[in-house]
Amino acid sequence: MSVNVWIILAAAVATYLTRIGGHLVLSRFPRIHPRVQAGLDAVPAAVLTTLVAPAALTAGPAEFTALLVAALVALRLGLMPMFLAGAVTLILLRQVMS
């Protein structure tokens, strides 16, 4: 097998370790401290925010407007309408601005 294949398999193992690791560590404790609980409840907002924020940092006017429109739509409607609204805004503005 080539080196590439070995690297890929090692990367797969490393990735799987990250996906079971948190649970394996946490399941060793019979009780979860309320503060840990509060921290875990914050995981979705905290992690997903970090996947958006740097993109907003480097965004141009079209990208920024698309995020704004998507955020406003998300206040009223579900995930799919907000996603479509953001995508359509982005594509239209990019056509206009380029």
| Least gap, CB of 78 to other proteins (angstroms) | 8
Residues engaged in binding other proteins (CB under 8 A): 2-12, 14-27, 32, 34-57, 59, 63, 66-67, 70-71, 74-75, 79-80, 82-83, 86-87, 90-91, 94-95, 98
| Least gap, CB of 29 to other proteins (angstroms) | 11
| Least gap, CB of 97 to other proteins (angstroms) | 11
Helix axes 34-41, 43-57, angle to 10 degrees: 40
What is the rounded end-to-end Cα distance, in angstroms, of the chain?
Answer: 47
Helix axes 61-76, 43-57, angle to 10 degrees: 150
